[in-house]
């Protein structure tokens, strides 16, 4: 760990001390970058782009720092870097141009950034994990426009396994767009055309929390966990409407959207009623865990629950109309879930 002195004096650490340490290996964590004075000069002096043995770089700015005159451009790492983490930077809201040179990156994490948009991470061929946390100004993820697909699906992010998006309240679309985004109540707006025909080909885990995303790449091949919290149901509905046989020769159920999914956690999604949930569950033949949280308008469980023969655990919280209906052996919906080994339902909060 390399910690920059808070006032930049009194014998504190100076980034120029890193200049000749080009044999550094493994992880380098630099803290308090926000306190660096003469940032352009000092950032260049760190000479990060010559440190070819570094695999993991963490750049931390610290709280209450003034980054208006600082740029990430001068902190360019070597292309061999595997993991990059940027924490608390609130500078000129522009991501550095050197990102496209980091073709070996496997993981990117960004916390508390002031970015209004991000570059096209899709151009990074090895990227498997993408985590974006608490970026209140972020409006979209990709400055490029998606390709027109003419009804066919287009793979997007060839290696990505885990995208995690949390607390980005201004992010409504993955791409920059000037078109109005349809609301969740319009069924026609869930037709799989245009931007929605872009798909993630190999996701294992997807979490979207407190991000009002209504337009994003779809995820029919997701095979481990889907967690949706306070977000739009539109991409989910679009994914479920996809015809996977267009890409998969087999006509078996394994080619249906989300048929490989193991765990589904959904919390307070507008527009998710019994009918919609029934449509979502119909292909989830390998589902092992299901959590339904905070759906006051969900009046009953869908009949499709009976077909989820691999389901091992069902958690229901803050869905008042299901309390009586799911009562063991006597509830109106009990016959739909009697085969599930573990059923938990609570009327109030989780904690």
Per-residue model confidence (pLDDT) at position 13: 67
237-290, pLDDT tens digit by residue?
Answer: 999 988 654 444 444 556 789 999 999 999 998 878 888 888 889 889 999 999
pLDDT at 313 over 90: yes
β-bridge partners, 215: 173
Residue 70 CA to residue 170 CA, distance in Å, equals 24
10-68, pLDDT tens digit by residue?
Answer: 345 688 888 889 888 999 999 888 888 787 888 888 899 999 999 999 999 876 555 55
Residue 256 CA to residue 302 CA, distance in Å, equals 19
Residue 22 CA to residue 75 CA, distance in Å, equals 14
pLDDT at 150 over 70: no
199-208, pLDDT tens digit by residue?
Answer: 999 999 999 9
- Residue 69 buriedness (CB in 10 A; 0-12 / 13-18 / 19+): exposed
Q: Taking a C-beta distance cutoff of 8 angstroms, is the pair 300, 311 a contact?
A: no
**Which residues does 120 contact at the CB level (< 8 Å), separation at least 6?**
142, 143, 144
The secondary structure of the chain in percent helix, strand, coil, rounded to multiples of 5, reads: 20, 20, 60
Query: What's the pTM?
Result: 0.87
73-115, pLDDT tens digit by residue?
Answer: 889 999 999 999 999 887 655 678 898 899 999 999 999 888 8
Per-residue model confidence (pLDDT) at position 254: 61
* DSSP line for 232-290: -SHHHHHHHT--GGGT-S--SGGGSTTTT--EEEEES-TT--HHHHHHHHTT-TT--EE
């Amino acid at each position: 760990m390399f910690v920059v002195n808070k006032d930049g004096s009194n014998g504190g650490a100076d980034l120029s001390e890193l200049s000749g340490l080009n044999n550094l290996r493994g992880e380098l964590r630099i803290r308090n970058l926000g306190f660096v004075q003469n940032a352009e000069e000092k950032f260049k002096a760190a000479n990060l782009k010559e440190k070819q043995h570094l695999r993991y770089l963490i750049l931390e700015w610290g709280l209450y720092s003034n980054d208006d005159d600082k740029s990430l451009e001068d902190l360019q790492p070597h292309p061999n870097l595997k993991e990059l983490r940027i924490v608390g930077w609130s500078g000129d809201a522009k991501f550095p141009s050197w990102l496209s040179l980091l073709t070996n990156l496997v993981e990117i994490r960004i916390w508390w950034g002031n970015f209004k948009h991000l570059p096209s991470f899709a151009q990074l061929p090895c990227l498997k994990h993408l985590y974006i946390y608490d970026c209140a100004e972020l409006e979209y993820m990709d400055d490029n426009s998606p390709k027109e697909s003419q009804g066919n699906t287009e793979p997007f992010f060839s290696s990505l396994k885990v995208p995690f998006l949390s607390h980005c309240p201004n992010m409504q679309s993955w791409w920059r767009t000037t078109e109005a985004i349809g609301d969740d109540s319009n069924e026609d707006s869930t037709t799989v055309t245009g931007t929605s025909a872009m798909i993630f080909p190999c996701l294992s885990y997807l979490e979207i929390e407190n991000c009002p995303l209504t337009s994003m790449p779809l995820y029919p091949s997701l095979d481990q966990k889907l967690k949706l919290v306070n977000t739009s149901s539109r991409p989910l509905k679009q994914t479920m409407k996809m015809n996977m046989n267009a890409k998969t020769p087999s006509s078996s159920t394994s080619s249906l959207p989300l048929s490989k999914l193991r765990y589904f956690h959904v919390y307070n999604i507008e527009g998710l009623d019994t009918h919609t949930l029934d449509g979502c569950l119909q292909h989830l033949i390998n589902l092992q865990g299901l959590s339904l949280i905070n759906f006051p308008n969900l009046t009953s469980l869908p009949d499709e629950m009976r077909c989820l023969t691999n389901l091992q655990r069902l958690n229901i919280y803050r869905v008042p109309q299901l309390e009586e209906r799911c009562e063991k052996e006597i509830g109106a919906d009990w016959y739909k879930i009697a085969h599930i080994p573990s059923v938990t339902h609570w009327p109030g909060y989780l904690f």
